[in-house]
Amino acid sequence: MTDLLTLAEYTSIAEKLTPPSDSFINGGFRPSSNGAKIVVTNPATGAHITDIAACTAEDVDFAVSKARDAFESGVWSKKHPSERKRILLKLCDLIEENATELAVMESIDSGKPIADCVNIDISEVIHTLSWHAELMDKIYDQTAPVGNDAMAMIVREPVGVVGAVLPWNFPILMLAWKMAPSLAAGCSVVLKPAAQTSLTALRVAELAYQAGVPAGVFNVITGSGKEVGEAIGRHMDVDMVTFTGSTATGRRFLGYSAESNIKEVVLELGGKNPCIVLDDAEDIDTVAEQVVAAAFWNMGENCSAGSRLIVQSGIKDELLSHIVKHSKEWKTGNPLDPSNQLGCLVDTNHFSKVAEYLDIAKEDKHKLILGGETVDGRYVMPTIYDGVKNTDRLAVEEIFGPVLSVITVDSYEEAIAVANDTEYGLAASIFSANSKKSLRAARELKAGTVTVNCFGEGDISTPFGGYKQSGFGGRDNSIHAHDQFTQLKTIWVDLSE
């Protein structure tokens, strides 16, 4: 854990920031071809931060052509793996040197609490980049069992030009999840951050260039999804797209690929994740702490948020009293105040979307047991509804805010059935003292990550991604992330006499 500064110190750093504005393409900053801009404001205050380039399809063409030139030249793709590793580790050092500035930039751009930006997001970015950099000179290809008359090598080659399109909820961390394995594998990248949260991506691109990533290899192009995202998705010279965001947009990327060059597509999408607590769960206070973190961490703006609490009737009242107690410990307020665990929502549009669910809950007469209030048109207080049915909108739709729905069940079998009765399958948690039952649940839950007696997302060494409509085509993190950015080639050599 890094020692945190004071609110006054973070505020003063924020005031002195000179955030980037133009896109970073081919080793330098560049405005959009038509000069258009997107206004960037601090979601906690409404204050103007900067204007970023609203790039166009023409700008995407330019970035992709530079990425292609860099890829084909071999300046990065054919560099010795240990050399790519050295440069990416240098980038880690530069991020470390600029960690406070990056954390403050992330916080004022997204509304995320500074303590998380410092101790989770930035430190995980460094961990992710260094992990993939270190992997590069330690993995081997294969030979196939084809007998004595031939030798067949199965080699992995970088996929080529990668398009990456990011969401706004973990801006710099999602950047690292895509950037680290793709660059380590030798690809060139054209990355679009979410329009609301582009600042840290631009700064990291500048630092990557400074670390020695050659011009054209890592490009950050800002703008809207409709213009820049779609142009990347449909580009005939982009070899694959890695996308994190909503299921609706992910579906579009499959269409773009089908209608263009059949590019590879990897999708990390939404979730409506169950936290199951059975009657025999032990240490209810700790269970409650975990359920609260699952529901409210990052203001619930988390694809793997445990937004459905599925609790067995015998333990429900006791559990809810502990949950309410712990929820009250999560202070919501100024994102730059290091004593706050929760900041504001990412922008006023998203705030309105989340606030609508509070109205729906009122109409549906769900029993409010905590929160239900908003502050300033920017903050939503941690909110818990009891008496929710799994078919209610609160339990079906991804709210992406700090709203927990409590669903009561009578048995283990009902808990599993309700948990799996969703179109999503990103994450799930099970709390039970019966280890055989909880491991059986881990096998029966249809989700990419199942945590037992805790909430979490694994770590950099474990794959992250979804079953069902939560994902497609691959996994982020771990050695499996590397697979997305490489393709297999068979080299067959005749050895017959």
Residues of span 342-361 touching ligand NAP by CB under 6 A: none
Single residue of 23, 169, 298, 477 touching ligand NAP by CB under 6 A: 169
CB of 379 to ligand NAP, least distance (A): 19
Query: Binding of ligand NAP at residue 172 (CB under 6 A)?
Result: no
Site for ligand NAP in 238-277 (CB under 6 A): 244-246, 249, 252, 268-271
Q: How far is the CB of 245 from ligand NAP (least distance, A)?
A: 3
Nearest by Cα to 53 from 225, 226, 235, 221:
221
Q: Would you call 303 a catalytic residue per the annotation?
A: yes
Asked if 398 is part of the footprint of ligand NAP (rule: CB under 6 A), the reply reads yes
The 3-state secondary structure of the chain, one letter per residue: CCCCCCHHHHHHHHHHCCCCCCEEECCEEECCCCCCEEEEECCCCCCEEEEEECCCHHHHHHHHHHHHHHHHHCCCCCCCHHHHHHHHHHHHHHHHHCHHHHHHHHHHHHCCCHHHHHHHHHHHHHHHHHHHHHHCCCCCCEEECCCCCEEEEEEEEECCEEEEECCCCCHHHHHHHHHHHHHHHCCEEEEECCCCCCHHHHHHHHHHHHHCCCCCCEEECCCCHHHHHHHHHHCCCCCEEEEECCHHHHHHHHHHHHHCCCCEEEEECCCCCEEEECCCCCCHHHHHHHHHHHHHHHHHCCCCCCCEEEEEHHHHHHHHHHHHHHHCCCCECCCCCCCCCECCCCCHHHHHHHHHHHHHHHHCCCEEEECCCEECCCEECCEEEECCCCCCHHHHCCCCCCEEEEEEECCHHHHHHHHHCCCCCCEEEEECCCHHHHHHHHHHCCCCEEEECCCCCCCCCCCECCCHHHEECCCECHHHHHHHCEEEEEEEEECCC
* CB-nearer residue toward ligand NAP: 312 or 484: 484
Out of 45, 65, 224, 286, name the contact with ligand NAP by CB under 6 A.
224
Nearer to ligand NAP, 246 or 286 (CB): 246
Return the bridge partners of 491, or none.
Answer: 153
Q: Is 55 a catalytic residue?
A: no
Could you say which residues in the range 300-329 bind ligand NAP, by CB under 6 A? 303
Residue 8 CB, nearest approach to ligand NAP (Å): 32
Which residue among 101, 206, 230, 268 is the active-site one?
A: 268
In whole angstroms, the minimum distance from the beta carbon of 485 to ligand NAP comes to 16
Task: Write down the catalytic residue from 301, 303, 344, 398.
Answer: 303
Smallest gap from Cβ 192 to ligand NAP, in A, equals 6
Q: Is 230 in the site for ligand NAP (CB under 6 A)?
A: yes
Tell which positions 444-473 bind ligand NAP, by CB under 6 A. 466
Q: Which of residues 99-128 bind ligand NAP (CB under 6 A)?
A: none
Q: Tell me how far, at minimum, the Cβ of 328 lies from ligand NAP, in Å.
A: 26
Stretch that binds ligand NAP, among 53-61, 165-173, 378-386, 388-396 (CB under 6 A): 165-173
133 interacts with ligand NAP by CB under 6 A: no
Judged by beta carbon, residue 269 or residue 278, the one nearer ligand NAP is 269
The correct pick among 131, 168, 379, 485 for binding ligand NAP (CB under 6 A) is 168
**Bridge partners, residue 24, by sequence:** 29, 220
Which one of 131-139, 228-236, 317-325, 383-391 is the stretch in contact with ligand NAP (CB under 6 A)? 228-236
Binding-residue pattern over the window 411 to 450 for ligand NAP, x denoting contact by CB under 6 A:
---------------x------------------------
**Which residues are at the interface with ligand NAP (CB under 6 A)?**
165-169, 192, 194-195, 224-226, 229-230, 233, 244-246, 249, 252, 268-271, 303, 398, 400, 426, 466
> Which residues are the active-site residues?
268, 303
